[in-house]
Structure 1
Amino acid sequence: MPASLLTAVFVPDSVSPPATPPPHQPVAHWLVRFLLRALAVTSLTLGIAGVFIPGLPTTVFILIAGWAAARSSPRLHRWLWQHRLFGPMLVNWSQGGKVSRRAKYSASIMMTLCAAVLWLAPTPLWVRWLACGCMACVLAWLWCRPEP
């Protein structure tokens, strides 16, 4: 029996094979590698902060960190892909820009909370409308993304 058929028959849909990161794509120039590594670390830091700070996105920063690490640091790239929390985000995105339903709900709740705080805070009316309009566009785009 071919291996693909065995996988299809014996592996349930909820269990996916372990994800291997795409190949490392190093940039030749040392200064560009340094700047990309700095971007990867900064994005990773902001992504981790986004887990705890409402309104600060996590997924976007992890995707940026994964892209920059793939071009600058094989070790960080591998670590991100094998991480328990961040790895599935990168795997889903690499498989056609997929976003989990849990991430969609989380983003919707956080953006709604931020919009409510924004409308209760003493901010100019144009800022409220602009921010809510941007969040609405992002949510519309996000909910149109396929799910894994």
Structure 2
Amino acid sequence: MAWRIAGATALLLGIIGIALPLLPTTPFLLLAAFCFSRGSQTWHDWLVAHPRLGVPIREWREHGAISRKAKMLAGLAMLGAIAGAAVFGAPRNVLLAQAGVMVFVALFVFTRPVPPEGGFGDDAD
């Protein structure tokens, strides 16, 4: 039961993240799939097979890939988070720590491959 609740919570946060630019979608969908795989195979299979929500999960599982669109949104969200903290007067040491962490996150995100042509995502031309 706890895995299903955790999966549903992660799924809800992922869906909210579709509309809110500073809340990431894909990590929450990956977490939801992980939780559902332990708590409800039916929900797991539904999520992974979903025509919109399942795409980034399948791309990550099969290719370790992140779409160009997701990379751009992640980069913008990171810049927005730092800019927002600066605008609201975060201390310099907090901004530096935040920027330092974001550098490593950005390195990870931007060094992942893009899904292959004809893949699941929005990068197939």
TM class by smaller structure: 0.7 to 0.9
Distance 1:59 1:131 in 2: 21
Which residue does 2:101 correspond to in 1?
A: 134
Which residue does 2:36 correspond to in 1?
A: 69
Q: Offset at 1:47?
A: 0.8
CA offsets per residue over residues 111-146 of structure 1, 9 Å max, x none?
A: 112211111111122111111211121011101111
Distance 1:135 1:41 in 2: 27
When normalised by structure 1's length, the TM-score is 0.73
Task: Indicate whether 1:99 and 2:74 are aligned.
Answer: no
- Kindly tell me the number of residue pairs found equivalent between the two proteins: 115
Task: Indicate whether 1:109 and 2:76 are aligned.
Answer: yes
The percentage of aligned residue pairs carrying the same residue is 34
Distance 2:104 2:50 in 1: 30
Which residue does 2:86 correspond to in 1?
A: 119
Q: Tell me which structure has the larger Cα radius of gyration.
A: 1
Which residue does 2:11 correspond to in 1?
A: 44
Distance 1:133 1:56 in 2: 19
Q: Offset at 1:104?
A: 0.5
Q: Offset at 1:85?
A: 2.0
When normalised by structure 2's length, the TM-score is 0.85
Which runs of 5 or more structure 2 residues have no equivalent in the other structure? 116-125
Matching residue's letter, 1:107: A
Structure 1 counterpart SS, 2:63:
coil
Task: Indicate whether 1:78 and 2:45 are aligned.
Answer: yes
Large movers: runs of 4+ above 3 Å: none
Matching residue's letter, 1:147: V
Which residue does 2:113 correspond to in 1?
A: 146
